[in-house]
Structures are given as structure tokens and as C-alpha cells.
Amino acid sequence: MNLHLKPAIAAALFAASTFTGAAIAAGEMPFKPGEGDFNWESYEALKKTDLKGEQVTVFGPWLGPDQKVFENVLSYFAKASNADVKYVGSDSFEQQIMIDAEAGSAPNIAVFPQPGLAADMAKRGFLTPLGSETADWVKENYAAGQSWVDLATFANSKGEKDLYGFFFKVDVKSLVWYSPENFEDAGYEVPESMEDLKKLTDQIAKDGGKPWCIGLGSGGATGWPATDWVEDMMLRTQPPEVYDQWVSNEISFTDERVVAAIEEFGAFARNDKYVAGGAGSVASTDFRDSPKGLFSSPPQCYMHRQASFIPAFFPEGTEIGADADFFYFPSYADKDLGKPVLGAGTLFTITKDSPAARALVEFLKSPIAHEVWMAQKGFLTPFKGVNPKMYADDTLRGMGDILLNATTFRFDGSDLMPGGVGAGSFWTGMVDYAGGKDAAEVSKAIQDSWDALKK
């Protein structure tokens, strides 16, 4: 899910988003070079490039604590290279970067929260290709490396494709949350395959419990949690290229493979025996409240599928790893589709080329750039060259392990679809489906809305 600001809101925030007088120098170096188990060799290697007198400006979506942590990461690049590094964050980034690019005042580096707008800007000539060398590096050094190259490869105005972005800081959505104590008390084991997950779901119901807590409520964004379910099911029932064709509408929402993925979600969400509160409560239950059933006594449910952010809505004092834990939302053992992971991530691009901008991209390839953020929380990476011990806690380390074992990574599909579909008819369609409408009927309504946008 990625809620986009309306143009009117963006305009109101315009003044706070520009570079004039708003840039903040890179932050502190929280870990002293040479100490700890960081890859300090990669830091020392950065000193070979002296950028004294050079400035590199970075514009991205991070504000508050995230901004401070990112500035701390940039401080290592600044210290090693002698570059003057300045970062600006904005909560209207997607509107402001286009304004800056059209005005010829773009920063050296722009950090996109999702690749859709980056693809549009590449087509308009506002991004600089990173080249085959960086593409080859990503293929070799990132788990599911080809996926990351594909996600950041866009066409220019002539239709020529190139790598335009480098993914740095990733989020994982393919997670199921549960209470280890509840599982232990009931004698349940973490499932290793989708077949096992379905057997466990049925067993919990036969034992008189409710396997799942599911809630789609989210105010004006009600329905989005179901789109994540469907996206995960598409990746577990179809090859990644079919997922891509669906997201770009090369195949219709009415395609039998898409309808089947929606019905896979329905197999869990539309069964009164499987859902706390019954299937009729799914659409009306707020997604922030839905996981609370894991912690009631007796438990109202045993599992909750949601992204890595959901612990923010667990009861106060919940200890991850003890009171709650997670496992990978598994793939089918009999479909030979590997271990796909659904998620999101930020994409670094060059919007104003310079030697310092190129050097910063090279810095992002260094283990130290990843490890410094790993040690400060709020960061996951598919980079195979980092020391996983540097993650700030076991929760992040476990999620990082899921990323490193992924055979395919795909971005949240609804975020890549036109707003009227991905943040509109897809959401409402899933609410209708959860409420009892036929999957084929719902799919046709969503496709009709997409077709209307093309006219």
C-alpha cells in the first residue's frame, strides 16, 4: 500500500519541499570506523575517491527519525570521500520531484518510494542510466538479483531499455504473524508449504479455533490488505512474468489466472470457520485492530497475514520473538515456483549527473552502506555481501533471511497500477468480493475501470 497525496495537498506543502534553504548536512557517524563487525574494508576503499569541493544533493521521502538515520548513513560517504552531502526529505516527494525536474532544478540523486513514477521520468528523459555494469553487479550480489534489475529497468523516449535505479532499503510483505505460545499449547507447527498452511488452517478449524484474523478496513483506503493477499497468491500460483503482465494489464483482470488468485484469497477469507468474527466481519474490521485476536485469552485467531510494519499495532508491551513471531507466507511445494517474496523498496536514481552522484551510487554497493543502517533498525536488504549479525535485532535478521532466500521479488502490484485501479477499483472490488460477490464479476468491474482510463 502506498497512499498518494492529492495535487492540492502537494501544492500546500510545496514550500517545505524545495532545496532552497532546506538542505541538511549529513549526520553523525554512530559507529566508529574499525570497531564492531562491520565491513570496514569497504569503508576504507571509499577513500580512494577524493571529492573534496564536490557537492551531491539527495531528495527523498524520509522525514523525522528515518531522515536522521539516513543522514547518519550518508555521513560515512561524506567522511570517506570528502564530498559535501546534503539531504532533503518531503512528504510530497512524488509531486515535488516532477516539479523540480521540469524546472531544471532536480537534485543529483532522487529516492523514489516506488518505481512507477521513476519509469515515467525515465521515459521523459529526466533520469540518467546507471549502465550495464551496475545491472551486472545487482544480478550477482542481490538475492533474486534479476528481479531487482527488472524492477528498475525502464524505457526511454525511444523505447530503449536501461537500468535507471538502485534499490536500497526494502520492506517485506509475505509474512504470517502468530503467537508461539498459542502454537505450542495447541501442538501446531509452522508450515513449510502452502499445502501445509491450508492443512493447518483446516486443522485449527476442526479443533474448534479460528485460524485467521483478517481485516480490510482502512478508512478511505479500505480494501488494500486484500490486494496484498491477491498479489501474494498470484506469485504463488503463476510465474513472475505472468504477475508482471497482470500488473501492466497485458493480461486482463478477467483472466482465469487472476480470478483464481482472488479465489485463493477467498478460500481463507470467505469461510466462516476460518475467520475470527466470521467472513462477514472481514470487510468491516479495521486492519489495525485485526491482529489483536492473536493476543486474547483464549485466542480469537492463530494467524494474521500482514507486512513487516504490523507490530506497530500490536498491544503495548508485545515482545517480538516471544509474544509474537512470524514466518514466511509459504509457496506451493508442487508448483515449482521457488520462494517468491512480495514487498516494496526505495529506488535511488540519478536526476542530475555528476562524478559525486556516480560515487554515491557506488557507495550504495558497499557493505558498509547497508550495515550502518542495518544496525540502526528499520532497514532490510537483499545484499548477499553484508554481515547479517549487524541487524539490530532478531526480528529484522529473520526478515532479512527471508529476503536472502527469495528466488523472486516483486513490488506491490497495486502500487504499480494506475491510481484509479490500484488505489481505487481494486480496493473496492476486494471489499465487494469479501462481502460475497462473485470473483469473476468483481474482476470484470475492475477491468472495466482500467479500460475506462485508457479512453
Question: 27-66, pLDDT tens digit by residue?
Answer: 689 999 999 999 999 999 999 999 999 999 999 999 999 9
Distance CA 153, CA 113 (A): 16
Question: What DSSP character marks residue 307?
Answer: -
Q: What is the pLDDT of residue 429?
A: 98
What domains can be seen in the chain, in order of their start residue?
7-172+344-411 (3.40.190.10), 175-340+415-454 (3.40.190.10)
Amino acid 64 reads G
Q: What is the pLDDT of residue 28?
A: 87
Distance CA 445, CA 438 (A): 11
What average pLDDT score do residues 17-33 get? Answer: 58
Report residue 12's pLDDT band, with 50, 70 and 90 as the boundaries: very low
Q: Is 60 exceeded by the pLDDT of residue 3?
A: no
Contacts of 341 (CB under 8 A, 6+ apart): 144, 172, 173, 174, 328, 402, 403, 406, 408, 409, 410
Q: What separation in angstroms does the CA of 215 have from each of 75, 105, 324?
A: 41, 43, 18
In DSSP terms, which residues pair with 344 in a beta bridge?
171
Q: Is 90 exceeded by the pLDDT of residue 22?
A: no
Q: Is 90 exceeded by the pLDDT of residue 193?
A: yes
Look at the chain and count its residues: 455
Q: What is the pLDDT of residue 114?
A: 87
Contacts of 315 (CB under 8 A, 6+ apart): 292, 295
pTM for this entry: 0.91
Report residue 4's pLDDT band, with 50, 70 and 90 as the boundaries: very low
Cα-flanking dihedrals φ and ψ of residue 170, to 5°? -125, 150
Report residue 455's pLDDT band, with 50, 70 and 90 as the boundaries: confident
Q: Is 90 exceeded by the pLDDT of residue 13?
A: no
Cell matching residue 382: 537483499
What average pLDDT score do residues 403-424 get? Answer: 96
Q: What is the pLDDT of residue 263?
A: 98
What average pLDDT score do residues 406-423 get? Answer: 95
* DSSP-derived 3-state class of residue 218: coil
98, 112 Cβ separation under 8 angstroms:
no
Q: What is the pLDDT of residue 313?
A: 96
Cis peptide before 225 (omega within 30 of 0): no
Cell matching residue 158: 525511444
Distance CA 448, CA 187 (A): 47
Q: Is 60 exceeded by the pLDDT of residue 11?
A: no
Q: What is the pLDDT of residue 15?
A: 28
What average pLDDT score do residues 282-294 get? Answer: 97
pLDDT digits (tens, 9 = 90+) for 148-184: 999 999 999 999 999 999 999 999 999 999 999 999 9
Cell matching residue 399: 526478515
What average pLDDT score do residues 128-134 get? Answer: 97
93, 313 Cβ separation under 8 angstroms:
no
What average pLDDT score do residues 288-295 get? Answer: 97
Q: What is the pLDDT of residue 25?
A: 44
Distance CA 339, CA 157 (A): 35
Mean pLDDT over each residue of the chain, to the nearest integer: 93
Largest CA distance in the chain: 70
Q: What is the pLDDT of residue 112?
A: 97
Find how far residue 294's CA is from the centre of its chain. Answer: 24
Q: What is the pLDDT of residue 8?
A: 27
Q: What is the pLDDT of residue 381?
A: 98
Cis peptide before 113 (omega within 30 of 0): no
435, 283 Cβ separation under 8 angstroms:
yes
Contacts of 319 (CB under 8 A, 6+ apart): none
